[in-house]
Amino acid sequence: MTPDHNDLWFLPLGGTGEIGMNLNLYGHDGQWLMVDCGVTFPKPGRIAADGTVHHRGEPPVQMADPAFIADRREQLAGLVITHAHEDHVGAVPYLWPMLQCPVYTSRFTAEILRRKLAEFDLLHRVPIIEVNTGEEGEERQIGPFNVQWLALTHSIPDPNALMIRTPLGNIFHSGDWKLDDQPLVGHGYSPGTFTDLAEEGVAAMVCDSTNATVKGHSLSEAALHKGLLDAVRSAEGRVVVTCFGSNIARLHTLAGIARETGRYMGLLGRSLINMSGAAKAAGIWDRADELINPSHLGYLPREEVLAVATGSQGEPRTALRRLSMGSHPDFELEAGDTVIFSARAIPGNEEAIEALISRLKELGVRVITAEDAGVPIHASGHPAQEELETMYRWVKPNLAIPVHGEMEHMETNADIARACGVPRTLVGRDGDLFMIRPVPGIRRQVVETGRLGWEKRELVRVY
């Protein structure tokens, strides 16, 4: 299981056959490159890549078991983080002591990572190399891999695809992405970046499959302004908007709506406050978007309050959950207030979200969800079918390897690739060895995979 100079391999240990805890390895000439190192938050009933089902009582934070590469860490050239979502960066503080390698990432992602490492007393131990992720796309030689960062758009600042070049061939690793012509915050993308890759030649494209079953084209962040403005403007009492804390563009939109409607905006929840702080430190927070101390929200007239809260997935101990229970220290929700869900349910969270909505309605709170809003109030960060078709036609890979999805999503992604003229597709799951060179193919389950959980301040094997 050590690639020689004639081999070019892809080996996922997490995130292929499931959504979450992404951990990918590329092998060539005696060394490995790791791309992403994320966590997942298990929910009872959610299916893992090997077909096992999450059950109650599991550790609340889980990640891919890195035993394969930890046993070979002298062969690990480096770790590249494509963006700052938890399922791509969240496991670094837990797993880095097993890996002991340099970490390459963008400025914003580095800000998020440093805050995580500080909590584990690792801040000054982990070598973090910041790369320029603008339109030019910085290149770095990491062992035998030449890695170029390519600007794309997603639901968080500074997401990047990667062009991984080797003497045997090039791999385009999409990361999480969408084609958003008005992302509002951070860099955009250029079609020429990807059509140029086709001219150079792409041996394999490893591609996000999350929304492969969704027809059409994902909405732009800019398209949400009207729907959110209408919802806030029609509210009479306090307004609480819940969304994913990493979506700085959504916060930018809401801050503008607060100004338009004469409300003061404050953030409720540690992850929201942390992300906005990182955005300010990275220079991507609009200076016009002023926030007030959340402890002041309870003293304002109800019609002047716009709070943004964590908890869109019904998670325990989040700000919205505490508001629904009347236990938040900053203010209490009252009849006539409005809660807006500017997010959709992650599969497996439906029951928790329904219970949360029921509690809010019992308080007399008006609830607006993305599903029942008349106009869009949420946009996905992943490509729908038209975007996948566009990217395959731009990049023209010889081989498509769908990842970041359950089997249904990955098989649909493969169907789209074939319909776009990609000569070959390979669909597998964690632990499968995808051989790109010398001859494309899959060796099934050649590496034992599993999940580790963080429980009582130590890592334990979940399965």
Least confident of 52-56, 202-206, 359-363, 444-448: 52-56
What are the tokens at 365?
């709170």
Lowest model confidence (mean pLDDT) among 6-20, 66-80, 133-147, 429-443: 133-147
pLDDT in tens, 305-359: 999 999 999 988 899 999 999 999 999 999 999 999 999 887 778 889 999 999 9
Non-local (6+) Cβ contacts of 413 within 8 A are 207, 209, 212, 388, 400, 402, 405
* Residue 45 clears pLDDT 70, i.e. is over it: no
Share of the chain residues as helix, strand and coil, in percent rounded to the nearest 5: 30, 25, 45
Residue pair 383/355 in contact by the 8 Å Cβ criterion: no
Name, of 29-38, 41-50, 177-186, the range with top average pLDDT: 29-38
What global pTM score does this model have?
0.94
Res 57: pLDDT:
75
Alpha helix ranges (H) inside 309-349? 319-325
pLDDT at 252 over 90: yes
pLDDT tens profile 386-426: 999 999 999 999 999 999 999 999 999 999 999 999 999 99
Closest CA to 267 of 291, 243, 302: 291
pLDDT of the residue at 135: 66
Residue 223 has pLDDT above 90, yes or no: yes
Quick one: pLDDT at residue 335?
97
pLDDT digits (tens, 9 = 90+) for 163-211: 999 999 999 999 999 999 999 988 899 999 999 999 999 999 999 999 9
Residue 420 has a pLDDT of 98
- The pLDDT assigned to 463 comes to 79
The rounded distance, in Å, linking the Cα atoms of 304 and 297 is 9
How many other β-carbons are positioned within 10 Å of the β-carbon of residue 375?
12
Sequence ranges of the domains in the chain: 8-216+381-462, 223-368
CA atoms within 13 A on the CB side of 109: 29
The CATH class of the 223-368 domain is: alpha beta
Instruction: Output the average pLDDT for the chain.
Output: 94
Amino acid 43: pLDDT: 67
Check residue 38 and give its pLDDT: 97
- Interval 126-154 mean pLDDT: 92
CA–CA gap between residue 47 and residue 44 (Å, rounded): 9
- Determine the Cα–Cα distance for residues 38 and 356; give it in Å rounded to an integer: 27
Look-up: residue for tokens 């029921």?
358
The CATH architecture annotation of domain 8-216+381-462 reads 4-Layer Sandwich (3.60)
| Res 409: pLDDT | 96
